[in-house]
Structure formats: structure tokens, C-alpha cells
Chains A and B, each alone.
Chain A
Amino acid sequence: MTILEFTDVHLSFAGVKAIDGVSFTVGRQELFAVIGPNGAGKTSIFNVLSGVYRPRSGRVVFDGTDLVGKRPHEIAALGMARTFQNVELFANLTVLDNLMLGRHNHIRYGPLSAIAWLGRARRAELAAREAVEQIVDFLELEQWRRLPVGLLPYGVQKRVELGRALAMEPKLLLLDEPVGGMNVEETEDMARFILDIRDELDIPIVLVEHDMGLVMDLADRVLVVDFGRAVATGPPADIQHHPDVIRAYLGEVQPT
């Protein structure tokens, strides 16, 4: 069973072929990693998936629905959540408010109930707050709850962004370099959270990451891209020894 089918997608920017015919599928229990050198097109794949970019051609089917041409909020409503390579949090808002924003689609009332703030809106806000507190617990964010996100250390911000994505109760989670710029300790914490998400919350994950150790440890399957093309797909052990991969990517990093 697959949750995502990405088929022969092409995307270009003024002559730069950011994605040049990439295909892959992600299973419902899978932790699928995408690796590749800088500028290979990894983030572009995420941007196509979440509706930020519209591909020139190709098919993207998520949980039975074609995503091409859909706008980001429609794709979010279908159950796709993501984090960004450079944290895209609402820096002026507190951790709690950022997480509450993640629950936007699960809070159902309109502007009129909001103005009156009677039964319906109040109940919905309280329910959302309780759900958000569970995420605070899960990601161990208690001590920062009420602080504006902009004041927090980078590693914590990355965790808050993960929390915001989790608050959406997604069917598929896209993580763009979740440990980029983190120290060893923060990286280990994050790895633990990613495994917990897959194993305890049963959410399939697509992971873009430069940290080879992390990818080799966590991923079920790996896709290697280079210059917008898929170089190889397979289990981490096979990928490490694939000659094209070594040429394209691992040439600069000694395979472990």
C-alpha cells in the first residue's frame, strides 16, 4: 500500500531543471529518505508536494487524490504536513500559538462564533489547547511554551516546527533537513522524536537530510537525486555501495 506516488515530475526555473523526471513511491509505514548534493532538487520536490510550486508535468497522487494544481491549504486539508529547511515559524507568536496554528483545520468555527466567543468557539479552542499540550509533552517543549518562538535557540525552533506539523495530525509528514545546523545532542533528540513519530504515532515520513549517519540509521528506503534526476532508490545498505551514488554524492563524503 502506498500513501504517495510521485510520477515523472518535471519542474524548471528559467532554464534550471530543478526536477527532471523524478519518480518514487512512499509506503504507509515507511520512513523514506531523499538525499543528494546541494541544489539537487530535494526542497523542490517538497515544494511540489505541498503545492508551493506547480510542476510543469507529472503526476503526484497522495492518498488517492491528484495534487497537481491544488493550492497549499487544500493539500494541507488532505493531511500533508511539512517542515522547512530554514525554519518558517511565526516568530512573534508563542510556542503555544504556533502549535495552535497547526490545528487550524481541526478547529471548526467561523468568524461570527469567534466574535461572540460563546459555547462553540470556546469549546473548540479548549479542545485544541488540550491537543496542543499533548504535543508539548511529546516533544518536551514545556519550558518554552509561552515564549515567542523568535527568542528560542535554533534547535528548539526546529522542534517547535515539527510540533506545528504534528498538530495538523497529518497522514504524511515531510521533514526538510530536521537536524540541519544542530549539535550532536540536539540531533540525537530529534532522531528519537522522528522514530517515535513513525513507530508510536504511525505517521509515514519523507525525510530530506544531509546527515548521512542519521539517514542510514533511520530510513527504510533512500532516494538519491542529483541535478534534478533520480540516481538510485533502495535500502540504505544498497545505496551506500551503488556506484552512481558514490560518483554523484558520496564521492565527497567517505562512505562509512
Chain B
Amino acid sequence: MKGRPLLHTSYASEMALFNTPAKRVWFGVLLAVAVAVPFLLTDDILQLLALCCVAAIGAIGLGLVTGYAGQVSLGHAFFLAIGAYTAAAISGDPDGRVIGFGVTNMLVWLPAAGLAAAAAGVLVAPLATRLRGLYLAIVTLGLVFIGQHIASEWSSLTGGVGVGRPAASLEVFGYQLATTDAFATRDQKLFWLMLALLLVFALAARNLARSKVGRAFTAIRDRDIAAGVIGVNLARYKTIAFAVSSLYAGCAGALLYTVSGYFDPSSFSLLLSVQYIAMVLIGGAGTVSGAIAGAFFITLLPRLTRELQAWVPFISTQPNEVPNVFQVETILYGVLIIVFLIFEPRGLFGLWVRARNYWKAWPFSY
């Protein structure tokens, strides 16, 4: 319909993913900026942005189980670890110091990491059908400790605490995806690769969220008795939620350390789980774009606090001095979670909605 772009003349056009011109334009602009950005930024920032994209994949996963399905999981670090070690072991050097099977193709180790973590998620899901709320949070927290214990003991897989092992290699059928060549640097390629993967995972999550499955998730989150009475099989959908969430975590875990190339069992601590919870809560629980925004925000936060040091000289960058930037960071996570929960439970996404509504209504203040 010319002249009335917001008028839908079929259910199909209304149900489309980008169902308004504004959404299409925004998405196009963002994508164009993202693709162009590597030509403008330095390599260390690109590396950080690549990490943001991977973290966003993990955050979308947690967002599905916690934000959409309402099952609070503190065990995300556990599933990230399963993905990271599955990928690293499959692609590792068979003659190396740690377990490796020498299958370096990303098209093998990435799905394998996702599936291994998803399988673990399916095993954990029955807990969610018996426990709710805080109890579930505490039990999933237990997973993190179990995972950490196994990772520090099983040094033939993990390399042991303080030593670690190389991450999976970014290679498809013998072609190295991230090496510096005449056209682009390693970090530029890394960023594009992770961005492309993020787009795929985000699109899949959006489709899932707007489908029958996503609706069932929200029904379980908001009123589980009513959900059962209208025909939602609670056990089945909680299992699906955990499986998909863990699959995302597994893939994110597998990719996360390919950026630095190396990782150590101490990475998968409770702090990592808390960071992902913070991403979901700060970004806005129950939205995919919120999880992405939250992931970028939390991943960039350490960099910002380090910049802060230039302005606030009494904060030290040495971990053994007080106050140091690491303490500031930890406190900031806590403060941000509390501030957002109290003042804008819809997170960054909510701020965006408010800003948008303000401009829509401008110059009227209601």
C-alpha cells in the first residue's frame, strides 16, 4: 500500500520479522555500519567487538531460558565450558600435550560443541520441572562448581589450572578463516566472522521466539498452571528451553577463546555466569536485541573502566592495590543489575522503547 506503509493487507506481511519500514531501515543501517566498521577501528578494538558478538550468542541463549521461559539458570558457565572443551578437544593436535582429535574443520567442531552442551542441557532440564525460582538458581549454581572441579582435575583435557590449552582453530576445509593477508588483518576477519555467526544465531532465536515454541516459553514463565491447562507440556518445553539455551552456550563457548587462542579452566567460574545474567538483565529479559545490547555493554565495560583510570587517577590498574579497576568492575556489575531491576526492568531495550515513544509523541509529553 503506497503512502500507508504501516497498513498491512495480509497476516503474512504483519507477521514478518521486520514488519515496519523503520525496522527494515534500522537493521540495514546497523548492518552497513557493522560491515564497514573494521576499516575505521584499530585491531584491538575489533578483537573486543568480535568477543562482544560471541558473548551475544551466549547471552541470547541464556535469554531464551531465563528471559523467555523464566527458568533462572546460574549454570551458563558450565555449558560454555562444555562447548569450549568439546571444540578444543575435537580440533586439538592429536600429538599434543592435551587430548586432541585433529579435526580442525569448524563445520565439525562448532555443531559438535553445540550438541554436546545441548545434551547436557537436556540432562539438567528435569531439575527445572521439579524446582522453581531461587531453588533452580541454586541448583544450577552447583553445576558451575561441579564443572570447575572436573576442569581443574582433568588436566589431560583442560591442561590444568594456570596452564590451560589452545582453543579450537578457525578453519573450514583447510582454509584459515582468520589470518592476516593482503586484503584484511586477522582481527578484521575475526570480527566479520563472529558478526556473521551472531546474525545467524540471532535470526534463529528471533524465529524461535515468535513461534509456537516461544509463546509456550512465555506462557510457562508468566503462569505455568494456565499454560498446562491450555495444552502446553511443561516438561517438554522446559527441556527444549534448556537444550536450545545450552546449544547457544556451547557454540559461544567454542568460539569465545578462538579470539585469544588459549584458555584456562579458571575462566568458567561463577563470575562468568553472573556476567551472562547481567547481560540478559541489563539488556532486557525476554528480547533478543536486549540480550545482544547487554552482551556488548558488559563485554565493553572492562575496557571503559580502564579508560576511567585516566580520569580518576586514584583507581589503580594493579590487582594488588586498593581500589583497583577490577574491583570497580565487579561493583559496577552489581550496581548496574540493581539499578536496572529497580528503575528499568526492561533493561536497555526498555530505555530504547521509552526513547522511541518519546520521539513518537514529541512534542506532546504523554
Contacts and interface: CB of A to CB of B under 8 A. Distances in A.
Q: Do A and B truly interact?
A: yes
Contacts of B222: 90-93
Contacts of A125: 15, 211-212
Interface in A63-82: 71-73, 76-77, 81-82
B228 interface: yes
What DSSP secondary structure best describes chain A's contact surface? helix
Nearest to A127: B11
Interface in A42-73: 50-52, 71-73
Interface string B224-267: 01111111111000001000100000000000000000000000
B8 to A, nearest CB: 11
Contacts of A252: none
A111 B122 CA distance: 14
A88 B223 contact: yes
A102 interface: yes
Given A52-B225, A93-B218, A126-B11, A111 B240 contact: yes
B197 interface: no
Interface stretch (A30-38, A113-121, A192-200, A203-211): A113-121
A100 interface: yes
B212 A84 contact: no
A72 B218 contact: no
A73 B11 contact: no
Interface string A110-147: 11001111000110111001100100000000000000
A104 B216 contact: yes
Contacts of B226: 84, 88-90
B1 interface: no
A89 B225 CA distance: 11
Contacts of A77: 231
Contact of A107 (B11, B212, B223, B233): B212
Q: How large is the interface on A (under 10, 10 to 19, 20 to 34, 35 or more residues)?
A: 35 or more
Interface string B204-220: 10011001111110110
B206 to A, nearest CB: 9
B70 to A, nearest CB: 11
Contact of A102 (B17, B213, B230, B244): B230
B361 interface: no
B12 interface: yes
Nearest to A110: B213
Contacts of A122: 12
Contacts of A84: 226
B229 A126 contact: no
A113 to B, nearest CB: 8
Contacts of A91: 222
A164 B218 CA distance: 15
A105 interface: yes
B13 to A, nearest CB: 11
B210 to A, nearest CB: 8
Contacts of A226: none
A224 interface: no
A65 to B, nearest CB: 15
Nearest to B211: A114
Contacts of A93: 215, 218, 222
- Which of B213, B215, B230, B234 has the most CB atoms of chain A within a 10 A radius of its CB? B230
A130 B212 CA distance: 15
Interface in A173-204: none
Given A104-B212, A104-B216, A115-B207, A126 B228 contact: no
A121 B215 contact: no
B223 to A, nearest CB: 5
Contact of B208 (A73, A90, A102, A115): A115
What 7 pairs between A and B have smallest CB-CB spacing?
A72-B228, A114-B211, A76-B231, A88-B226, A117-B207, A105-B231, A115-B204
5 contacts: A90-B218, A105-B231, A117-B207, A125-B15, A126-B12
